[in-house]
Amino acid sequence: MARLPLWANLAMTLLVALPAQAQEDAAFRCTFKAVFETIESDSPGKSSHEKQFVGHRMDVLITGQSTATVIADVFTLTRQPADYIVSQRGSAKNDWVMSRTDQTASSTTITLMHIRTWSEAVRFTFAWGSTLAVGTCEKLS
């Protein structure tokens, strides 16, 4: 069985330790700008999957509940909805933090997404396995 990298264990610990804070519903349309691989290296390099994802758009719909629906994430490029757990609600100084766990007979993949609404351009990170994608979002009304 493969061990999770240290950053994944830390991220899961933070997700469990941080309580969700109440805030209104939110909706974002996010565009992937770059994709990196971190496997076997301390310095991320461009991913071989970059051409597949750069320019790809993903819609994030967050309700007042503890879940979000993400349409067209990297696993559902056919624009199928996927459910994520909201572990931290966004605010003036907090990122939105969402996660999803996919389990197959041979592996478990934990996906983490951060949306930073308090920066000048709304930015997001999307991490799954050893891959990290970054991009920008526009808030939808």
* The CATH number of the domain covering residues in 23-101+110-139: 2.40.160
User: Is 135 in contact with 34 (CB distance < 8 Å)?
Assistant: yes
* CA dist., res. 112 & res. 108, Å (int): 13
pLDDT tens string 122-136: 999 998 888 889 999
Q: How far is Cα 139 from Cα 28, in angstroms, rounded to an integer?
A: 5
Cβ partners under 8 Å of residue 114, min gap 6: 95, 96, 97, 124, 125
Give tens-digit pLDDT for 41-70. Answer: 677 778 877 777 888 888 999 887 788 988
